[in-house]
Amino acid sequence: MVKPVARLFQTPEKNIMAEIGKTASLMENVIDLSIGDPDMTTPKPLIDATTQAMLNGKTHYTASNGDLEYLQAIVNFHNQKFSSNYKLENVRATDGASHATDLAFGALLDPEDEVIIFSPYFSPYKVQVEQFHATPVFVTCKEEHNFEPQKEDIEAAITSKTKVILVNSPNNPTGAVYDKSTLQDIADLAEKYDLYLIADEVYWPYVFNNHEFTPLENMAPGRTLVTGSLSKVFAMTGFRIGYLLGPTAVVDAAGLLNEGVAYTAPSMAQSAGSYGLQNERSLSAPLQDEFGKRLAYLGEELNRLSWAKTIPVAGSIYLFLDISGSGMDDVQFSDYLLEKAGILVIPGQAFGQAGKGFIRIAATQGMDQLQKAVDGFKKLDFSKH
Ligand SMILES: Cc1ncc(COP(=O)(O)O)c(C=O)c1O
């Protein structure tokens, strides 16, 4: 007998997504709208910049906090684009935003601390908190509030143990883009109760229908950590490149933790990141337009169905569809959708209890596939259920 793995992983929760994914892998011609990975190839100038960087020798470790050029590009980008006031000591290169979030939690959390997470939520957050023996506290965001958290609900969830509020806008999975006043409420609560904020802003360019992205970083700068990612901004998920920005003491502590985790980020991906941030508008605008078009199409078509309901998409690359009118729960619905129409989506409850009754549709396929998907949705018949 060998001793078991850590208690946290001994009785894993049911992995709804893995089960549906397994069924889908046995089927042919499935329209996969499950994965939050832009289908577009990374823009060629970025690939060229990476290749050139490798030919120039960027194949080694960089300094543990990152390559100076990349760090400067991040600082310049945020200071110019969002009128922030960062210096090099506020930034660290990471292997994507998930790594940055992980380091931020590790740098901040002691056992028994609590982290407020708005639900539905990007599912990895829960374990990211629990691995440090801290406790996630979920605050439900409702469709009737456009999935934005309400100040009184957040305040009711704050206790003497609360250390961090995690904010993800534009939001995965709901597509909510938090209004400036909502973010100001959150920042005010952070000041009032002496809390840190972690701002996961990986979808920041993806805002539609006159919504505006408001960066949280300047509302409570001394207590806000931004977990940045180039994965979605430039369709470069496989490069594993992102960053952590925030107060120097926290960024330094994250560095100590990262010495034994990833040490630094891939050097050629950092070069790609520098190029990307220096040319952000021209590289990201076509992706943003394309996702805007796709989501508008899906929203309009699916809203026509008697059993489906969605609010106009504000942001992100996802549509969060209320399917409760079908008479099925979201897991049953997703199974049925796969079986009858060959369409793979994620049931809302994979993003927490608050996601029940919804499905998340990732617009990560071209228009031709989305048209086929819409036809498939239209053919569903719930009269026999
Ligand atoms: C809200 C959110 N945060 C973080 C990530 C991870 O991003 P990265 O590829 O930079 O680790 C994702 C990926 O889907 C996401 O949806």
Per-residue pLDDT tens for 204-216?
Answer: 999 999 999 999 9
Residue 149 CB coordination number (10 Å):
25
Catalogue all structural domains in the chain, each as residue range(s) with its CATH number.
7-42+282-379 (3.90.1150.10), 45-279 (3.40.640.10)
Reported as a pLDDT band with limits 50, 70 and 90, residue 312 is confident
Mean pLDDT of 88-116: 98
Q: Which atom of ligand 1 is nearest to the CA of 36?
A: 14
Dist. CA 162–CA 165, nearest whole Å: 8
Q: What spacing in Å lies between the alpha carbon of 202 and ligand 1's midpoint?
A: 6
- The SS3 call for residue 116 is strand
Mean pLDDT of 303-329: 95
Return phi, psi of residue 357, to 5°: 90, 0
pLDDT at 383 over 90: no
Q: Go through the chain and tell me how many residues it has.
A: 385
Mean pLDDT of 218-235: 96
pLDDT at 13 over 90: no
Give pLDDT, residue 15. 79
Task: Lowest mean pLDDT of 14-28, 171-185, 357-371, name the range.
Answer: 14-28
Query: Which residue's C-alpha comes closest to atom 14 of ligand 1?
Result: 36
Q: Which atom of ligand 1 is nearest to the CA of 95?
A: 11
- The SS3 call for residue 69 is helix
Reported as a pLDDT band with limits 50, 70 and 90, residue 302 is very high
Dist. CA 122–CA 126, nearest whole Å: 9
Closest CA to 340 of 304, 379, 307, 375: 379
Query: Which residue's C-alpha comes closest to atom 7 of ligand 1?
Result: 97
Choosing from 35, 92, 95, 98 the residue with most ligand 1 atoms within 8 A of its CB, the one to mutate for a pocket test is 98
Give pLDDT, residue 212. 95
What region, left, alpha or beta, does residue 164 occupy, with left being phi > 0 and alpha being psi -120 to 50 degrees? beta
Q: Which atom of ligand 1 is nearest to the CA of 97?
A: 10
Dist. CA 216–CA 92, nearest whole Å: 18
Mean pLDDT of 301-321: 95
pLDDT in tens, 257-285: 999 999 999 999 999 999 999 999 999 99
Give pLDDT, residue 16. 80
pLDDT at 117 over 90: yes
What element of type H or E holds 368?
helix 367-379
Choosing from 37, 103, 231, 243 the residue with most ligand 1 atoms within 8 A of its CB, the one to mutate for a pocket test is 231
Residues in contact with 20: Cβ distance below 8 Å, sequence separation at least 6, in sequence order = 34, 334, 335, 338, 344, 346, 347
Dist. CA 343–CA 330, nearest whole Å: 14
Percent of the residues in the chain that have a pLDDT greater than 90, as a whole number: 92
Provide the mean pLDDT of the chain: 96
Give pLDDT, residue 14. 80
Q: Residues with Cβ within 6 A of ligand 1?
A: 36, 96-98, 122, 168, 172, 200, 202, 229, 231, 237, 242
Dist. CA 212–CA 50, nearest whole Å: 31
pLDDT at 221 over 80: yes
Dist. CA 230–CA 184, nearest whole Å: 26
pLDDT in tens, 343-369: 999 999 999 999 999 999 999 999 999
Give pLDDT, residue 384. 66
Q: What spacing in Å lies between the alpha carbon of 128 and ligand 1's midpoint?
A: 13
